[in-house]
Amino acid sequence: MSATSANKDDFFAQTAVPERFSEKYELMKEFVSKHRAIGNRVVLVSSGGTTVPLESRTVRFIDNFSIGTRGSASAEYPLYFLQHGYAVIFLYRLRSLEPYSRHLQRRLMDMLEVKGDSVTVKHDHTSSLKSILQQYEGVKAKDLLLSIDFTSLAEYLHLLRASAQILNAIHSKALLYLAAAVSDFYIPKHEMPEHKIQSSTDKPLQLSLQLVPKMLKPLVKEWAPDAFVVSFKLETDRNILIKKALSALDKYQHQVVIANLLDTRKYEVVLVTKETEKPILLSKEDSDKGLEIEEEIVKQLIARHKHFIES
């Protein structure tokens, strides 16, 4: 496997515009314009991993480990802070975790029971389910959550560019929270075989991948220059994590990097700005009680975003 690099214009020219792109574009535009009119802030939360197809009529693809826990949990918390007036565009990998329904996705079968002819919620799950449903209904009634799905890397980046450009209309009231796990390699469409790659040869499969340009650069400089931008840095080596986060802030000139390690990401992150490094920790006891690190991450970011808007 080898890799060479493209620039952002090559990337967009070499990848197809996603299906239903204009429909999704219009939904995002309408959502932002509605919340702009009532003075709300809007946060774009990206979540889940991107796929890199190996064939045009895709049978096989390279995928990423993320299942969207970080993004889906985080998307709920701005909504707990309704007094802060946030609406959320949730840009997520299809079939990864989603806000609210994530609480049921893994536990549904344990929450329900058959009683006579009907299916009911088990007594000890009633209050948690009721609370999730009430939050969800509140959010729906106020139209505070717009979910837009993607699967491939190209879909994600086309939609990211569109949403950032749309959000630029609300200037500093836009917050971009880029938690999706984005592939760094792809196969341009003119190099991709149309049909399923055949295995009936003796030779091992050789793949040639291009490097995906880092989209944080045009995002901060061109697409949403007035927005508050939070990127994530994922590493497996603790020794290089903070250095890489600081180098990203220096290179892209955005506001915050949330640095996390693959193995400890649910219990430990560092909120890095050019001037500060703030560790955010979740203890084992708090985790066992059902608390999540995303609540504190979002609380910290909302405070910093408020300061950013005011200054």
Contact positions vs ligand PMT (CB under 6 A)? 66-70, 178-179, 181-182, 184, 212, 214-216, 231-234, 260, 265
Within 8 A by CB and 6+ apart from 24, the residues are: 18, 148, 159, 162
* Least CB distance to ligand PMT at residue 230 (A): 8
Look up residue 187 and give its amino acid: I
Closest CB to ligand PMT among residues 142, 214? 214
Q: Which is nearer to ligand PMT, 79 or 212 (CB)?
A: 212
Compute the distance between CA of residue 150 and CA of residue 141 in angstroms, rounded to an integer. 25
164 three-state secondary structure: helix
Query: At 68, which amino acid appears?
Result: G
Residue 282, SS3 per DSSP: coil
Q: How far is the CB of 181 from ligand PMT (least distance, A)?
A: 4
Rounded to whole angstroms, the Cα distance separating 146 from 168 reads 17
**Helix 153-167 to helix 21-37 angle, to the nearest 10 degrees?**
30
In the three-class reduction of DSSP (H, G, I as helix; E, B as strand; rest coil), residue 234 is classed as strand
- Rounded to a whole number of angstroms, the minimum distance from the CB of residue 50 to ligand PMT is 9
CB nearer ligand PMT, residue 36 or residue 71: 71
> Given the complex with ligand PMT, which of 189 and 265 has the nearer CB atom?
265
Radius of gyration, CA atoms only, the chain: 21
Closer residue to ligand PMT (CB): 40 or 231: 231
Q: Closest approach of Cβ 215 to ligand PMT, in Å?
A: 4
Place of tokens 């909504």: 79
**Smallest separation (angstroms) from ligand PMT to the CB of 219:** 7
Query: Nearest approach, Cβ of 247 to ligand PMT (angstroms)?
Result: 11
Q: Which is nearer to ligand PMT, 179 or 271 (CB)?
A: 179
CB 249 within 8 Å of CB 239: no
